[in-house]
A and B are shown apart, each in its own frame.
Chain A
Amino acid sequence: MEKQHWPLWEIFIRSRQGLSHRHVGSLHAADAEMAIENARDVYTRRQEGVSIWAVPASEITASSPDEKDVLFDPADDKVYRHPTFYDLPDEVKNM
C-alpha cells in the first residue's frame, strides 16, 4: 500500500484562563478533529492546558528569514518604544 502522509498541524495550548494560547509544537493528523484529539494526548497529558487550537501548518504565512534586516533592525535604536520609563506596581505580572 502506498503510504500517504497526514498533513502537519501546529498546536497551541492555553495553560489556564486569562493567558493566551502558546505554540507548543506540531503533529500529524488526517483531519481537524483528529488533530485536537492527538494534541490532547500528546501535549496535555500532564494537565498542561484548558484549551487547544489546531492550525493547519500549510495555512500559516511566515516571514522570510531573508527579510530579517528589513523587518526587525529598524526597531534597534527606538528604545522609547519600551515601557521601561514607568514604575510598575509589583501586583502587575506578565508584562
Chain B
Amino acid sequence: MNARFEYLLRLGDDALILGQQLGLWTGHGPVLEEDIALTNIGLDQIGQARAWLTLAGRAENDQRDEDALAFHRDQSEFRNAQLCERPNGHFGDTIVRQFLFDAYAVPLHAALSQSNDAEIAAIARKSAKESVYHLRHSSAWMVRLGDGTEESHAKVQESLDVLLPFAGDLFHSDAVARTAATEGWGVDPANLREAWEHHLVQTLTEAGLKRPEPAPEQCGGRIGRHTEGLSFLLAEMQVLPRTYPDAKW
C-alpha cells in the first residue's frame, strides 16, 4: 500500500467533503452575514482539498490530478472521516460538525507544519491560519447556541449527542498513520486527541453543554466504509464531470 497516497487522500477528502457540504448552505444561511461566513469557510476547505489531492496524485506517480481524484472516484474509494459526511441538518448540526472537525484540524495543521516534507509543511502552514479562524468561528457559535435560548440549547445539545461518536475516525490510528509519523512527514492522529479533548471540554463548559455519555465510536471512513449520506453528496458533486468528462467552464 502507498502510505503517502493514502494519508494525503484522508487529508484531502476530509476537506473536500466538508467544503462541498458547506457550499450547500449558500443562500440558505440563517442571516446574510453567516451565509457568507459559512461559504467562506467552505471555500477555504475546497482550497485545502485541492492542495492535498494534487499532492496525493503526485504521490501516486502522477496518475490522477485533483479533478480526477475528486470527481472520478466511487464512494468506497473516499477516505474522509464519517463525521464530514454527516448531513448539514439544521444550523446547529452544521456548527457542531464543524466545531468537532475544527478542534481536530487546528492541532493537525500545527503538527503537520513541522513535517520533514517541505510541500506538506507549506500546505499545513497555510491551512493552519484558516483552521484557527474556523475554530474561533465555530467555537463562538457553540457558546452562543449552548448558552442562548432554551430552544437553541436543546437543539445544539441534541446535535452534540448525535455527532460526537462520529469523531472516532479523526483519531483512528493504523499502519498508514504510524508510517507517516515514523517517517516524519505526517502525524499519527491518535496524538491529536489530547489537544482536541482540551478544547472540547473548555468550550462545552463555557457553552453550558453536557458531554454525552461515552458511546461506541463510529470508525471506517479511513478504509472506505461510509454512510448513505455520502452517496447522495457524491452523486450531486460528480454528476457534471462524469456526464461530460472533458467539460470546461
Write the residues of chain A forming the contact surface with B, with a CB cutoff of 8 angstroms. Answer: 1, 6, 27-30, 33-34, 37-38, 40-42, 45
How far is A1 from B31 in the complex, measured between Cα atoms in Å?
15
Binding site for A on B (CB under 8 A): 31-34, 36-37, 40, 133, 136-137, 140, 144, 151
Cross-interface CB contact of B40 among A27, A33, A41, cutoff 8 Å: A41
Q: Are B144 and A30 in contact (CB under 8 A)?
A: yes
List the A side residues contacting B31 at CB < 8 Å. 6, 28
* Structural contact, B140 and A41, CB atoms closer than 8 A: no
| Extra contacts besides A28-B31, A28-B33, A38-B34 (8): CB < 8 Å | A28-B32, A37-B140, A38-B33, A38-B36, A40-B133, A41-B40, A42-B36, A45-B36
User: Is there contact, CB below 8 Å, between B36 and A37?
Assistant: no
B140 touches A33 (CB 8 A): yes
Are A38 and B140 within 8 A (Cβ)? no
User: How far, in whole Å, are A40 and B130 apart by their CA atoms in the complex?
Assistant: 12
Pairwise interchain contact B37-A37, C-beta atoms closer than 8 A:
yes
Q: List the A side residues contacting B144 at CB < 8 Å.
A: 30, 34
Q: Which residue of B lies closest to A5 (CB)?
A: B31
Min CB gap B29→A, angstroms: 11
Residues of chain A within 8 A (CB-CB) of B37 are: 37-38, 41
> Residue of B at shortest CB range from A29?
B33
Q: Tell me the minimal C-beta distance from A53 to chain B in angstroms.
A: 17
Which residues of chain B are near A34, meaning CB under 8 Å?
Answer: 140, 144
Q: List 27 contacting pairs A-B, 8 Å CB cutoff, sorted by A.
A: A1-B151, A6-B31, A27-B32, A27-B33, A28-B31, A28-B32, A28-B33, A29-B33, A30-B144, A33-B140, A34-B140, A34-B144, A37-B37, A37-B136, A37-B137, A37-B140, A38-B33, A38-B34, A38-B36, A38-B37, A40-B133, A41-B33, A41-B36, A41-B37, A42-B33, A42-B36, A45-B40
Tally inter-chain residue pairs, CB-CB below 8 A.
29
Q: Kindly state the separation between the CA atoms of A42 and B37 in the bound complex, as whole angstroms.
A: 8
Residues in A whose Cβ lies below 8 Å from that of B133: 40
Bound CA–CA A27/B151 (angstroms): 25
A28 vs B34: C-alpha distance in the bound complex, in angstroms? 10
- B73 CB to closest chain A CB (Å) equals 31
Residue in A closest to B36 when the chains form the complex, CB atoms = A41
- Closest Cβ of chain B to A20, distance in Å, is 25
Q: Chain B residues with Cβ under 8 A from A27's Cβ? A: 32-33
Residue of B nearest to A39 (CB): B33
Report A6 CB to chain B, min CB distance, Å: 7
User: B140 — which chain A residues lie within 8 A by C-beta?
Assistant: 33-34, 37
The 10 tightest CB contacts between A and B, nearest first, are: A38-B33, A41-B37, A41-B36, A41-B40, A27-B33, A42-B36, A37-B137, A42-B33, A33-B140, A28-B33
Which residue among A41, A42, A45 has the maximum number of chain B CB atoms within 10 Å of its CB? A41
Alpha-carbon distance A28/B137, docked complex (angstroms): 16
Residues of B contacting A38 with CB < 8 Å?
33-34, 36-37
Question: Using Cβ atoms and an 8 Å threshold, which residues of chain A touch B36?
Answer: 38, 41-42, 45
The residues of A that contact B32 with a CB separation of less than 8 Å are 27-28
Identify the closest chain B residue to A34 (Cβ): B140
